[in-house]
């Protein structure tokens, strides 16, 4: 016996319901197996990620034009890479995990010091500067600069452009 065929619109409606309900509730309401729901969810996520990448690619190219940029990564707040522009000595999983740790600690500091929502974190070290800047509620834009570019230059000359691009990316990643 063959199962029911669903249109793309029906699938999207069911997946929309799934966002606020359990797999069990969704299965019972729409008579769709949890396995099928998981497959649709994964397919939808993959398609969404592809659409996001297409939309933000011009922004990432613009960021690469900023003087001294070494690496650009877009990391989901859950610690998974959305876009990763690898350096030879950087591990995508480690960068994503460290970004998630920075996010967690920064948010904790903002709460503990009653300083409000954190918008960015800057790490200035002997080998360069790393800026982690929130791009919407779901992603962190991490930009590493070479040590030849000082922090004052980044803040005075580049931060305006980084912030505008961050806003654009934030509209696509939720």
Q: How many C-beta neighbours within 10 Å does residue 166 have?
A: 24
**115 CB-near residues (< 8 Å, 6+ apart):** 109
Give the pLDDT score at 137.
78
Closest alpha carbon to 102 in 82, 115, 120: 120
| Cβ atoms of 125 and 26 closer than 8 Å | no
Give the pLDDT score at 74.
85
CATH number 1.10.3470 given to 8-44? no
Give the pLDDT score at 104.
86
* Fold agreement between 8-44 and 66-172: no
**CA distances in angstroms from 10 to 19, 93, 166, listed in the order given:** 15, 35, 33
| Cβ atoms of 59 and 72 closer than 8 Å | no
Give the pLDDT score at 1.
45
Run means of pLDDT, 10 residues per run, the chain, 174 residues: 78 86 88 86 69 77 85 82 72 85 88 90 91 85 88 81 80 69
- In DSSP terms, 69 is beta-bridged to 145
Give the pLDDT score at 113.
94
Domain residue spans in the chain?
Answer: 8-44, 66-172
Topology of domain 66-172 in CATH is: Beta-Lactamase (3.30.450)
């Amino acid at each position: 016996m063959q199962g029911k065929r669903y249109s793309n619109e029906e699938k999207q409606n069911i997946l929309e319901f799934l966002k606020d309900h359990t797999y069990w509730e969704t299965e019972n309401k729409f008579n769709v197996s949890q396995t099928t729901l998981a497959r649709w969810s994964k397919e939808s996520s993959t398609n969404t990620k592809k659409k996001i990448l297409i939309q933000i690619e011009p922004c990432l190219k613009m960021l690469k034009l900023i003087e001294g940029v070494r690496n650009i990564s877009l990391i989901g707040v859950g610690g998974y890479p959305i876009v990763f522009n690898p350096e030879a000595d950087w591990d995508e999983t480690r960068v994503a995990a460290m970004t998630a740790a920075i996010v967690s600690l920064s948010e904790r500091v903002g709460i503990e010091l009653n300083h409000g929502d954190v918008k960015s974190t800057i790490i200035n070290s002997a080998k360069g500067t790393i800026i982690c800047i929130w791009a919407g509620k779901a992603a962190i834009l991490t930009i590493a600069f070479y040590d030849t570019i000082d922090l004052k230059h980044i803040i005075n000359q580049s931060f305006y452009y980084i912030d505008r691009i961050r806003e654009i990316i934030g509209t696509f990643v939720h």
